[in-house]
Structure 1
Amino acid sequence: MTNIDWEEPFCGEGANCFRLGTDEDGNGYISIHGEEDRYLTDGRDALRNLIRAIQAGKADHLL
């Protein structure tokens, strides 16, 4: 299991919260607050899933 140092959650008004994190190797992670065991790492898949979350209204405060 990767040891991820999560930042404080970022919450938009009336929207889900998300968290950004890094590991000891400097890799980046993003997760919905409360679901930190289901995270995405940097890369094409992370961007694709983030866009899907925005489209589904889960991260609309990023727009």
Structure 2
Amino acid sequence: MSDITWEAPFCGEGNSCFRLGTDADGNAYIAVNGQEERYLTDTADALRTLITDIKAGKADHLL
């Protein structure tokens, strides 16, 4: 497994902080800040699509 390079934490309201990361193999990672050992991984394109869809309001019904 490649080393993950984590971005600085992104924090919304309250304590909802998460981090995005990538590795040399082109994989993308997302984790709760402070729990980086428990991450979700997929391709960078899939993570990009997820973030774009969230910004477009496609996940608002989950909130």
Q: TM-score, normalised by structure 1?
A: 0.62
| Structure 1 segments (4+ residues) deviating >2 Å | none
Structure 2: which amino acid aligns with 1:12?
A: G
CA contact under 8 A between 2:6 and 2:21: conserved in structure 1?
yes
Identity %: 64
**Once superposed, what is the RMSD of the aligned Cα atoms?**
2.1
Structure 2: which amino acid aligns with 1:9?
A: P
Pairs within 5 Å for 1:1-63: 1-42=1-42, 55=62
Q: TM-score, normalised by structure 2?
A: 0.62
SS at match of 1:42: strand
Count of aligned pairs:
47
Larger C-alpha radius of gyration, 1 or 2? 2
Higher relative CO (CA 8 A, sep ≥ 6), structure 1 or 2? Answer: 1
Q: Counterparts of 1:31 and 1:6 in 2: how far apart (Å)?
A: 9
Unaligned runs of 5+ in 2: 51-61
